[in-house]
Structure 1
Amino acid sequence: MRFSALSSGAQILPHCGPTNSRLQAHLGLIVPSEARIRVGNEQRGWKTGKFIIFDDSFEHELQFDGASSSSLRLILLIDLWHPEVESQQRTAPEDD
């Protein structure tokens, strides 16, 4: 579990997570409407107090365009086990 902050005008280039054994949960804390995430072919924005959960082995990128009243996008990022991973296959997650 960790916080992730993104400043206005910033972009995180397309990338894929190291494994499909986990899901990422993003809880919106400070979420200007211009901050967006694309996972595969789907793009959306965060909502305060709501989760976006996705398989981060799919290509994803983040972008924060525009001049919002808030110059910061802040989320709580939580790694979860993919529900199809058997409990005996689970090991401590690696930070990437």
Structure 2
Amino acid sequence: MHPYLITAKPGRFRRTLTAARVWTVRFLALTVMTVLGAVVLTVRCARPVVNYLATRAIYLELWAAQRIGRPPVSGFVGAGITDEFVNEFHRARRTATATGSAS
């Protein structure tokens, strides 16, 4: 006696639907991975350009500040943001618990 006589074997239509569902999920996962990879690659490639443009903007602001006779604003804003990030980082380190990272 064949085992599929006791338990019903899925029909061709059901097996086709299951295969289509499996391959659709695989295709969607591959598409998501490809899109995310392209975004990450674009951001990583653009980073040196952004750094260069930021450096040029700072030099331009320093030049304008010298001509006007006022202090540059980005130095004050950048230092304040940096200090806040450092404070937040140290606050997070002090309040972190060892039990939160258990595997």
**Interval of TM-score (by shorter of Structure 1 and Structure 2):** under 0.3
Greater strand proportion = 1
TM-score by length of 1: 0.19
TM-score by length of 2: 0.18
Greater C-alpha radius of gyration = 2
Greater helix proportion = 2
